[in-house]
Structure formats: C-alpha cells, structure tokens
Chain A
Amino acid sequence: MALLEARQLTMRFGGLTAVKQVDFAIEKGMIASLIGPNGAGKTTFFNMLTGIYVPTSGLLRLDNRDITGARPDKLTSLGIARTFQNIRLFNNMTVLENVLVGRHCRLQTGLVGALFRPPAVTQEERKARQKGLSLLDFVGLGASKAQELAKNLSYGDQRRLEIARALASDPKILLLDEPTAGMNPNETADLTRFIHRIRDELDLSILLIEHDMKVVMEISDRVSVMEYGSKIAEGTPTEVRANPRVIEAYLGKEDAEESINS
C-alpha cells in the first residue's frame, strides 16, 4: 500500500503547465528518485507534495487520507518533511535552534506554558534539546557546532543541518531536493551512504530529486523520470537506464540514434 500517493496531479501557472497529470506513489521504506532535465517540473511537483503550491487539479493522499491543498505546517505535522534545493536555513539562529524549530510541530508548549513555565514545559524543552543534539550527532555535526550560527557552517554542513532540521519533525517521508548539489565527489559519496543510513535506522521513506546519475542509480529503489511536466518513465534504475524515451530526453534524439549506431 502506498504511503504517499499522487493522482493526476497538475499545476498550471497562467498559460504554462508546469506539471501535467502526474501519477506517483511511494511505499513505506522506499528510496525513490525523481529525475529529469532542468525545467521538467520536479521542484514544482515537490512543492505540491509539501503544500507550498496548491495543485490546480489532482489528488494527494498520505496514508489513505486526502491531503490535497493542505498547508505546509499541517503536512509537516502529518509526517512530510523536506529540504530545499537552495539551502534555506534560519541563518542567524544557532544550529541547535534550527533543529528545535524543526521540532516545533512535535512540541506542545502554548502561550500559558511559555509564560509560566510549569515543570512539564521545562521537561519538554530539555527533551527537545537532547533530541536535537542527538540528531546533530546523527547527521555528523556533533554537539561542538550546536551553538554556532547556521550561516557560519560550511556548505556541506549546512546541507546536513537542513536534513537534521527536517528529521526533527519525526517524518514518515523525507523529501530531499537535490541534496548533493554543489558537492564534490567525496562529499557526494558520504551523503549517499548517509541517505541509506537514514532510511535503515530511522525507518522512513525518502524521495529525492537528483541530477547526479551515479547517486540516483546507486541508491534508488525506483526512479521516475519527468520531462516537460509529464512523467515519461518509471522503474528500477536498470529499467530506466535502458528506456529509449529517457535516453532521448537526456541526450536528444539524434544523439540517441548516433549512440545506438556507433
């Protein structure tokens, strides 16, 4: 049974159809990838899954529950967490505070609790901090950087912090938007291993948009390919690699013929 399911999802911006009737499903514990040339509508699709865009038409279901058009914060508390293609950390907050913001929807403290700080609130806050620190440890940032400002971290560390922040909300499904963008081969290999670890240790599903084919082929259980807003292929990495439409989309028609001929 699908954990997250999209049916005939469509997004139109004025006259432009960015995503055209895409069907998509991801099962529990699966690592799925979404690939496609630039401008294929991958990020738009992501933004619909996380509630940042409201789909023009189509249906979204999480655990058999209709979530079409729900607000991002609602989706986060239902178990969809994400990172951004261009890192969007809270730059002037500390690393730990960033993770605590990610934890926001799992904390209960309201106005009265914040003002009068009964023991329950202090307890909750302490637990959240512990959880945050252990998450930082998990993503490999460690407690030593917890009090640094987020913007002072290196690029790779910022990517890791973004993942830690997303994981803080105890998601069922983690959406990673080009997690290896701008990384060197070493960092990319590290991150690939790390994504595997997240899936195995935290028991969640991962959907990623990725341009690095090596990464995609290595970690995906299933690959979906988009072009001009439509899904053109889906299957295991090997199937997708052999699919002529995919080769065409990536290399162009003539090139494809040439490569077959040669």
Chain B
Amino acid sequence: MAQQVIKVIKSSWVLGAIATLTIILFGGWSGTVIGWLLGTGAGFMACQGKRIPSPKVGARIGANAGLILGIWLFVASLLEGLVIRPLSGQSSLGLFQILPSGILALLVSTLAGGVIGSLQALPSPRRQQATLVTLAFILIIFPFVDQVAQTSWVATAIEILIYVILALGLNITVGYAGLLDLGYAAFFAIGAYTTGLLSSSQLNIAWNFWVVLPIAAVVAAIAGVILGAPTLRLRGDYLAIVTLGFGEIVPVIFRNLTEVRIDEPISKMFGSLFGHPEWGICLLGCDRPLNLTNGEAGINPIGRPSLPFVGTFESSNYLPWYYLILALVVFSYFMIDRLRDSRLGRSWAAIREDELAASAMGINLVKSKLLAFAMGATFSGFGGAFYAAYISAIFPTVFDFSVSVIILCMVILGGLGNMTGVILGGIIIMAADRLYLPQLAKVLKGFLSTSVLPNIPNPQLQDFIATSLDPTQMRLFLFGLTLVIMMIVRPEGLVPDATHQAELHGEGVSDQSLADARSQ
C-alpha cells in the first residue's frame, strides 16, 4: 500500500507540484482552473504512446490521471485554507468554506482527464484533430473561466502569448537554421517602434493597426536581412557576438533619434569645403530637428486596433486583446510549421547539419541564411506591433539584452527546434516570472510579517530578512539556476526535437564553413 502511494506520487509529482504551488499561492477557485488545465494535460499524457481500444478505456486511464492530480489539488486546498492562510496573515477559513473549492477542483480535474482520455481512442488522424479541437476549446473559453473563478490571469496570459510568438520566431533562426541570435529583442523593438511611429501623434501619422501590423512585420524582416548580411561568413561564437552587438545598438538608436536632421551629403560637403554651409540641401527636419522616437520618454499613446462590433480595444477589457494575440500565435504556428516542412525548412536543417555539404548539394547559403533571419524577425515584428498597441506606450529600456536572453531561454528550455516545446518553455518561464513570483513574494511577505518576524528579537536581523527574502528580486538568479540545472539534467529541453536530441547525444558534426574554405 505504502509503496503504491509512493509510486503514484512519483508518477504525478511534476504536475502535482505545479498544482499545489498554484493553490497555495493563489487560493480561492484557482485550484479549479488549474485542475481543469492540468487535468487535461495529465489525461493526455497518460494516454500518450498507448493504443486505446475504446473510449471507455481511454476515459478510465485519463480520469485516473486526473483523479491523482485532483487528490494533490484537494490536499493542497486544505493545506492552503487551514495552514497557509492563517500563517500568512489572511483570515482563516472554516472547513466548509474550503471543502467546496477543493472538491470542485478534484471533480473538474478528474472529468477533464476523462474527457481528453476518451478522445484518445479515436483512430490516428482523428485523434490529433480531436486533441486540437479540445485545446482550441480550452484556449477560447479560458478568459470566461478565468472571470468566473476570479483568478484574473488573462492579463498575464496575453503577456505570455506575446513572448510565445517571439520564442516561435527565434526558434526559426536558432532551432531550425542553427544561427545563434543573441540580439533578438532588436527585432521586437523594431516591430514595436514601427507601430509606434505609424500610429501615434509622434509623426502625426495615425494609420489603422491592421495596416501597421503587416508593415511592422515587413520592416522587422528587412532589419533581419540587414543583420544577416554581415554575419553570413560567421559561425557559432562569432555570429553570436555580432548579433549581440546588433541587439545593443538598436535600443540605443531608438533612444537617440530625438533630433534628426538629414542633409544631402554631396552638396553639404561642397558647402563646408567652400565655406558656404547654406549650399547644403536639407532633406528632413530642416526648420527644426525632427523628434522621431522621443528618447527615454518613449512614444505614448499609441493607437489601438478596432473592429466592427467590438469597437476600439480598451485597456480595461482584456478579451479582444486575448483573442487577437491568440489568433496571431495560431497563425504564426501554422505558418512556421509549413515553412519547416518545405524545401526551405529542409535547406535550413541541412545548413545546420553541415554547411559545406549543404552548399555542395546546391543550397544557396546566402539566400537560405538571410531568409532564416528575415523569417525569425518577421514573427517578432508581429509580437512587437501587438505589444506596442497593447501597452500603448513604448520605451527603449523595455527592449534590453535581458529580453533577448529570456526569449532564448524559452527556446532552449522548451526544446530547440520543437514548436510544442518552445511554446511550453514560453508559458513556463513567463508564468513563473509574471504570475508565480510576484504572488510568491506577496504570500511570503504576509508569512514573514505574521509568523516569522515577530518571533525574532534582533531588529537588525528582522530588517535583513524582510528586505532580502524577496523572490521578485531574485528572479534572474532563479532563472539562471533553472537553466543550469536544466542543462545538466536535460540539455535537449523539455520536449526535445528528435534531431537535436541526436546531435546532443551523438558525436559532433564536422563544421568547416564554406567561407573558410573559399577564402584560402
């Protein structure tokens, strides 16, 4: 019996721990929401790699997995209501206030597992379709469930999805073509600033968001080509340094484009040569220098999208934003999937594997690499345009190096080259960063001030503990720690791509570049 319990706990501890953490931190009805989401996941995973003969069997397997998760949830909600709340200074709840949410979480989790499990009994192509439909259904009704359960996670979900688009885009450059890009935030910035300039009072241009969105993507793609061109002969570390530089340059440019004046160069040169500066023909910003980006203060406000029936998207109403970014993610996913499974995707994979052989097999390295950079940048252009309209203000400081690193972390954590993995990586990192850490900080603060600090006599020690135990300030440390552990335990990422896994665990590929050979 005891052994069985340990076995069950072992098999479900990852999802169980996430569920427990959620309930302990958020309390209330969050258990039901997370039970719904993770129960579906648990039911799906339980049926993976198995042949399910009938819906009944599938439902039983799925419901079993959901039930185990539900027990975690139930225990966690008891723990939260009876222990954590009083300890962290919130009002304690009676058993009858806790039980309904705990039992509901248990039921929902079991049910969700059973539903997805029964769908896995369908024959192969229908099975994937049914899973996709379930996933779509969950994503579509998520905001309503979120509203009913009063968890207010939608705002974070929007931010998560923005980063998911960015991670998907970076995955093209790094995961498919194997070109390490450390300055990816630059394209995000370019997409955002393009939107900012074309739909704000800064230049007195107020174009419709739906027009600006593709323009931002195209501008970002062109920037991708501009970055790509000088890096064509570089590989590995050298490429990373150049992209790093690009990522540093772009925000600085946006910060300093406050007094733009462009003169026609030849006439100006002659003018200064002969001592007649007035000969110079001025092209732009002649009366007074043009303030393009408003420097540190940023561009604010930026026009918002609007649709018939919905009207202009308001910052107070998250629903249209959520569906817009969701649509963009789905669109990007399908486009990238098609790219990967095409002549172009194959050429990227070949370049990643062996540049010289790829070239000898007729692949134009210049075109393919530039295309990889351009495509990667395109999707971050989408992300940037949405971000600018959503926040309605952009500042150069938002796009610093740490953004590039975080997006790269998502790609690597999730699994280089695997889109499902990359999406998962994005969700995990952003949810941890924007949802769990702040909430943890809040709960921890309440816990410290009610249960720990009053018991410490030394006021200096009190002060030290109160200020140093702040998880939000430790986020980069926690991040780094996760990555280090991840790279040791599972370097291929959470959901590894088959070929990348093989690369990491097989012998290295020879990588003499064509440029090196030809320049001899």
Contact = CB atoms under 8 A, between A and B. Distances in A.
Q: Do A and B come from one complex?
A: yes
Interface residues of B, number: 37
Contacts of B342: 109, 113-114, 117, 121, 125
B506 A54 contact: no
A72 to B, nearest CB: 4
Interface in B493-520: 498-500, 502-503, 506, 509-510, 514, 517-518, 520
Given A13-B520, A53-B517, A53-B520, A88 B510 contact: yes
A112 to B, nearest CB: 11
Nearest to B503: A92
A81 B357 CA distance: 11
Contacts of A50: 360
A104 B506 CA distance: 27
Interface string B121-137: 00000000000000000
Chain A interface size range: 35 or more
Interface string B356-375: 11111111110000010001
B509 to A, nearest CB: 6
Nearest to B371: A111
Nearest to B357: A88
Nearest to A165: B361
B376 to A, nearest CB: 13
B350 A109 contact: no
A228 interface: no
Given A53-B520, A73-B365, A90 B347 contact: no
Given A52-B514, A101-B358, A111 B344 contact: yes
B381 to A, nearest CB: 15
- Of residues A81, A86, A111, which shows the largest number of chain B Cβ atoms within 10 Å of its Cβ? A111
A102 interface: yes
B360 A114 contact: no
B361 A169 contact: yes
Interface string A224-248: 0000000000000000000000000
A50 B364 CA distance: 14
B499 A93 contact: yes
B103 interface: no
A34 B510 CA distance: 26
A50 B357 CA distance: 11
B370 to A, nearest CB: 11
B51 interface: no
A93 B518 CA distance: 26
B232 interface: no
Interface string A76-93: 110001101010111111
B361 to A, nearest CB: 5
Contact of B349 (A93, A151, A169): A93
B398 to A, nearest CB: 30
30 contacts: A50-B360, A52-B356, A52-B514, A71-B359, A72-B360, A72-B514, A73-B360, A84-B357, A88-B354, A88-B357, A90-B357, A91-B506, A92-B498, A92-B499, A92-B506, A93-B349, A93-B499, A101-B358, A101-B361, A102-B362, A104-B361, A104-B362, A104-B363, A105-B363, A109-B342, A111-B375, A115-B335, A115-B338, A117-B338, A117-B342
Interface of B: 335, 338-339, 342-347, 349-350, 353-354, 356-365, 371, 375, 498-500, 502-503, 506, 509-510, 514, 517-518, 520
Given A71-B359, A84-B360, A101-B350, 12 more contacts: A73-B363, A73-B364, A89-B357, A92-B353, A92-B498, A104-B350, A104-B363, A109-B344, A111-B375, A117-B342, A166-B361, A169-B362
